Amino acid sequence: MSGGGDADSVRAITPLDCFMERADLIASLLTGMRRAEDFRAQGAAYNTAHSQQMAVDHGKAADAELVLSLFAFTPEHLKLLGSTGIENLGEIVCHAWALNGGNNEALIGWFRKPMNALDGQTPAALVRSGRLKVLLLVLRQQLEWELPKRSA
């Protein structure tokens, strides 16, 4: 192999080369984030002190980039999740961010902490295994219980 640009040269293959363009990943994450914002707008129960901040500060391409860097998906993970899974991840991140008071460090901790509702697994493990629908269902239930308590 030579160091030149001939056919035998080796180039690093990124996860995006194998499944989705980065712009598509960002668009899918933003779709999910907006779905979370729509969910929040539907009911006063989801109106927290951080709701206004969430509408202003989140749901932007930079947030989607942060999510992608947080998980460092491999091509296999991206293929497993698909665009629908990436959308669900965007919604999950937005809801979890609100549950954690808009604190990014707490959000990261939330993904790493085992949860009884997930049979002792971490949210990050469910993301890695592609079980986002389960995680989204549990998270929505948690929102229904916890956010009304905080706004009371």
* pLDDT tens by residue, 91-130: 999 888 888 888 889 989 999 999 999 999 999 999 989 9
Single out the residue of 95, 37, 103, 70 nearest to residue 25, CA to CA. 70
Residues whose CB falls within 8 Å of the CB of residue 114, separated by 6 or more in sequence, listed in order: 120, 121, 122
Q: What are 17-55's pLDDT values in tens digits?
A: 455 788 888 888 888 888 887 776 665 444 554 555 555
Which of the 8 DSSP states describes residue 13? P
Provide the residue ranges of all domains of the chain, joining segments of one domain with +: 19-151
Give Rg (Cα) of the chain. 17
